Chain A
Amino acid sequence: MSAYVLSIIASGGVWAILTLSLNLVTGYAGQVSLGQAAFLAIGAYAAAMLSTRTGFGFVPAVLAAMAITAVASATLGLLALRVKDDFLVFATIGVNFIVVAILQYTDTFGGAQGIVAIPAAAIGPATLQIGAYAGLVVALALLAAFASRWIERSWLGHGFAAVRQDELAARAMGVPAARLKVVAFALAGLLAGLAGALYAYFLGNVFPQNFAFFISIQVMAMLVLGGLGTVPGAIVGASVLTALPEILRPLADYRYTIFGLVLVITVSFLPGGIMGHGGLLNRALGRLRPRRAAA
């Protein structure tokens, strides 16, 4: 495979991890966040600064970035205990703009020049070339997918579902809604931090504008297009919207128009997304599956 294809695969993996992160808070726990790019930024900047300024290696930098981002995201989770529904949507948009502004206007974070010359990812003595790096990112994306599925089926996932469907009823039944929300944000932060760190090493340089509000929209679009609340949906949505601009290269002048139209048309006709419940592909697959007895 050419380096071009491999780099698209690597970035597709990064977006899949970030989409899975959004799926944890929004798809499972029902807390709509339109600021996920802020946490991608925190993960990316943490990894970039640790590797360029303190000499952290690739693995420790990624792990540290995940921890830092989880703490930052859990802090937003605390805000979500007070601020709800549409107010939360705007608070998260606000967090995105504030984080980008802080990165852009403070010298500690490199300002508009960003943080450059991040060393290539290396595990032990072996420096990872683009092929190996793409493989690593895809493997980590799959790991994140399985972890998400595991959470979805565990008591934690059921708790998230209870909070999503009716927070008041969940609390009345003794579900610790507040704690679960913070946990959902923390777990989402772990994944966003992973995505951010991998993104930073992939790009080699990070700039505030890599994490603009449009990125948050794009991630939400990936999740909704694929199927909110489903792991296959997050993966498919991220893959489709990563590949789409490349496939549309001949129509480059109109790629934003097409992107916008894809959003409008998909959600209008497939509100559950491609892989969501009642989605096209799911219905087609459902016919092949043996039917279970009605519960």
Chain B
Amino acid sequence: MPDFQIKKNPKLYDVCIVGSGAGGGMAAYVLANAGIKVLLLEAGAPYDPAKNVTQLKWPWESPRRGASTTFRPFGDFDASYGGWEIDGEPYTRKNDTKFDWFRSRMVGGRTNHWGRISLRFGPKDFKRKSIDGLGEDWPISYEDVAPYYDKIDKLIGIFGTNENIPNEPDGIFLPPPKPRLHELFVKDSGNSLNIPVIPSRLSILTKSLPDNKNRGACFFCSQCNRGCTVYGDFSSSSVLVNPALQTGNVDIITNAMVREVLVNDKGIATGVSYVNRLDLSEYEVNAKIVILAASAGESARLLLNSKSTRFPTGLANSSGVIGKYLHDSTGVAMGGIIPKLLGRKRYNEDGVGGLHVYTPWWLDNKKLDFPRGYHIEYWGGMGMPSYGFGFGIQNLNGKFLDRNGKTKEAGGYGVSLKDDYRYFYGANVGMAGRGEAVAREENYCEIDPTTVDKFGIPVLRFHYKWSDFEINQAKHMQETFKEIFHNMGAEITWGIKGKDENYGLEAPGRIIHEVGTVRMGNDPKKSALNKFNQAHDCKNLFVVDGGPFVSQADKNPTWTILALSMRASEYIIEELKKQNI
């Protein structure tokens, strides 16, 4: 008996998709609905928000009261399997640089727990090099993508308002929820500083979608990150993968960790090989087309690991760009207390799972010492107490006048302290900037020459440093936040950082918007994919996650991943009809 066996799947699929997050889910949905036979491979476990429930659980139903664990870094109720560190699946960093890599291992990927902030890229966001000379222009423009944004707005559902702001394109929106109290204060504060504060744009169904009987409307529990049992928000698992499976044209295999893309001697992709994460058995499957949607990091890793005599530097990498131009959003946060909200009246202000208002980028970078913009997200109010509630009261209760207009001694215990927690509850407000970093060749991921994971697959090694552009942008964020806080009468209690801490700029990777590693372009010497997400070097290979991004805008990438994946999938359908692939 052989001690090692690779099981070969006898079926020839039209398309094999690697990864079931935003990009892979959308590709599966579009292709399956066109009658194409799809195999969907997911490295993680099965997951369905209607079945794998943490929604509407109370804090005491978690023995750790919702605290984070290595299994769930965003808290015990968060709908994410995986995290910053996965047992047996390391990644490394080069030359003491820092990059943190968040991986979800589940059907739907990171769309199960994400913030649902769904911003279109604007016309300028596709042509940044033409504006400031940095980075590269996309090979496509807003007009190429706009019809797909429109289709996605209608298919998936998004609330927001049409504001006619040039680089924040309008969309097909459901009505937004009314602002919460602290959001009204933020809005007033921003307005008087000429900083726009407009309704947020989240993929949450404030009204049910016409003609969609599978999804319920939002019931305002504020818990989108836990996954929604009625599918009232967008996650790839509920909105794309499930309906794709219902067509009967999709087979899904979970716990399938893809090793490499297989190619024949003509340089055509023939399928993939994968290992079952649970029992470590090995498989090969064949498909006429391979679509990678494993995340910017994993897709780059897969291509770099798919070496052959024909592709000695990795598949689709004759340009050498794969892994390079990695960039994540910048992030800076600050928080405080609104004294007039101390001892406030209680009512249910859960709202939707996230902010009801936000600030789009509003300034002209030509007048600033950094080239790209940022948007601002806001939070605060009377949320569900969870692990961490009340921490550090000794830093607060000596600083604000109490119910009797007196200053207390900081710290304490007993009945008086107990009342302080009530008094401070719901008076907090916070804000965070999410900005665009410039994509640079020096920021990259590559195959670590000495390290493999528990499956024997060589792992990624990251090399990433912020430049002065991002640090100056972070400084500007801090100054803006301070103005907004002060102008609304809030006292800042945390988040002010100096130059020595890069003004609070988070480490690369922490915002989980990493993109750019398999970028598209018209020049095969400077890009891995053409403008339809198709590999220059291998015509039946596509990448539809964040990898193809040329630049990232100050927008969250999901809506653009979805739009480009839909566009690439429709292109595939046309090319198949023409028998070009």
Answer whether A and B are interacting partners.
Answer: no
